[in-house]
Amino acid sequence: MVQKDPEGNETKRLHTFVDFTGRRVLEIGCGDGRLTWQYARKALSVTAIDLEAQDLRLATIDRPSDLAGTTRFVRADSIHLPFVKEKFDLAVLAWSL
Amino acid sequence: MVHALREVHRVMAPNGILVDLRPLDDRWPVEVSSARESREVGRLLDYDFALSSDRAANHAVEQIAAERRFEREREEYFPFLYYWDTPNEMQEYIADEWEDFNGLDDPTLQSARSAWAIGGADSRVRIRMKMLITRWKKMA
């Protein structure tokens, strides 16, 4: 079984680069939410998108109950984002470019 | 990719921040690691698809910078490690998950097996992935 980044290098670096506190976050390429859970509690809201329905299902199942009101998973393509302009303060391209 | 970045620009508020987090193929080292020591036993192969994907992503971010949609504020590289208990588990994972991107040649696999077999009970195999993180600020 694979173990990814047990040292937490990615999370540490992400929080060094940006403060999520109170931000409206768009995550592109969220997959099963592996990265989402590392910052979602700090954000004001999180909209996490991916094209893979199975991954989004897993993310929704894994979503802690206290994040249900602020973190949502949406099946969407980054080429046509189904959101109005200027909706987000912070966007994360999560291994998706 | 450029279209996607233009879309991101559209949905971001003025002065918004974009973080680009992604692996960069670079013949990632394969290592055998234990509490006592870690050592490199070879490197992964980078396939053309992986290299062309990296080039396309790099081109896309340079394009949006040239369009003055985003301004690069900060950039760093850091390691992201994948661990497996055995070389066979690593081989299987690479074949299943990274087949279009990376390969494991026989000499590297054999070296990993040998080093793992003579290592301590806590020996594991790992791949040291090279990651890039860049923070961009939205311009007008």
- The pLDDT value given to residue B12: 97
Q: Indicate if the pLDDT at residue B117 is higher than 90.
A: yes
Region B69-89: mean pLDDT is: 97
The rounded distance, in Å, linking the Cα atoms of B29 and B40 is: 6
Q: Indicate if the pLDDT at residue B6 is higher than 90.
A: yes
Indicate yes or no: CB of A18 within 8 angstroms of CB of B79. no
Residue B95 forms contact with A (CB below 8 Å) = no
Per DSSP, A66 falls in state G
- The pLDDT value given to residue B120: 86
Indicate yes or no: CB of B19 within 8 angstroms of CB of A79. no
Strand ranges, E, within chain B: 12-23, 29-33, 38-43, 45-46, 70-84, 102-103, 124-138
Candidates B8, B72, B127, B134: best to mutate against A (most CBs of A within 10 A) is B8
Q: Indicate if the pLDDT at residue B140 is higher than 80.
A: no
Per DSSP, B40 falls in state E
What lies within 8 Å, CB to CB, of A96 at 6+ separation is A28, A29, A78, B22
Q: What is the pTM of this model?
A: 0.93
Which segments of chain A have a pLDDT < 50?
none
Distance to chain A for B10, nearest Cα, Å: 5
Q: Which of A2, A13, A94 sits opposite B76 (nearest CB)?
A: A13
In tens, the pLDDT along B56-77 reads 999 999 999 999 999 999 999 9
Indicate yes or no: CB of B84 within 8 angstroms of CB of A3. yes
Average pLDDT, chain B: 96
Region B79-91: mean pLDDT is: 97
